[in-house]
A and B are shown apart, each in its own frame.
Chain A
Amino acid sequence: AQSVAQPEDQVNVAEGNPLTVKCTYSVSGNPYLFWYVQYPNRGLQFLLKYITGDNLVKGSYGFEAEFNKSQTSFHLKKPSALVSDSALYFCAVRAPFTGGGNKLTFGTGTQLKVEL
């Protein structure tokens, strides 16, 4: 079975500082990894994904994530946080294609709060 852990319920960071939102995963085979963001009273928006290739993946709004196979991690990062980045962030994993849809398993989410 595949699973995702987001160890921090909330991350606080000052505007302009770098931010990291942590994610570790467990899956059989090479993982497909995703980050989504949810703003208040909205659905989830796709940020970035790792399928294969370069371990550093760049996504929307200046976010990037680093895939680390040995540590089974896929941490989300941004060099300089903005107040508008405050939102709920979800990490998700999928095992390689097994037929019949592409089910994702989501983490429990990390609330990011960026303060002035």
Chain B
Amino acid sequence: DVKVTQSSRYLVKRTGEKVFLECVQDMDHENMFWYRQDPGLGLRLIYFSYDVKMKEKGDIPEGYSVSREKKERFSLILESASTNQTSMYLCASSPPGTRTSTDTQYFGPGTRLTVL
């Protein structure tokens, strides 16, 4: 079974702190994703990466950055946390999509971040 793990289930930080959220997958997947989930808004894509050291902005990248130094690990960084970044953060991974197939994204359990 694919396993996607996230470093923390719950995290409480103060405004202005630098926050690191870590995600690790064990299936050698090329693609990795960071979403945030908010009630009534569903999941919104923050950043994704389709290869080591490659990254692309999603729909809401402002206030976030990412790092992918190794294939299995994708980090989300909040450079200076703000209260409006209080949310559930979900990481996902998948094999690459191709012209004749598409592949399921597998999700981690999520990190519920509270910024005070």
Tell me, yes or no, whether A binds B.
Answer: yes
A43 touches B110 (CB 8 A): yes
Binding site for B on A (CB under 8 A): 6, 9, 32, 34, 36, 41-46, 49, 51, 90, 94, 96-97, 100-109
Binding site for A on B (CB under 8 A): 4, 9, 31, 33, 35, 40-45, 48-50, 56, 58, 90, 92, 94, 96-99, 101-110
The total of Cβ contacts below 8 Å across the A-B interface reads 70
Closest 4 CB pairs of A and B: A102-B97, A43-B107, A108-B42, A101-B50
Give the interface SS of chain B, mostly helix, strand, loop or mixed: strand
B42 touches A51 (CB 8 A): no
A-B CB contact pairs (8 Å), 8 listed: A43-B4, A43-B107, A44-B90, A90-B43, A102-B94, A105-B45, A106-B43, A106-B44
- B45 touches which of A36, A49, A103 (Cβ 8 Å): A103
A49 touches B102 (CB 8 A): yes
Name the B residues within 8 Å of A51 (CB-CB): 101-102
- CA A43 – CA B9 in complex, angstroms? 11
Closest B residue, CB atoms, query A46: B104
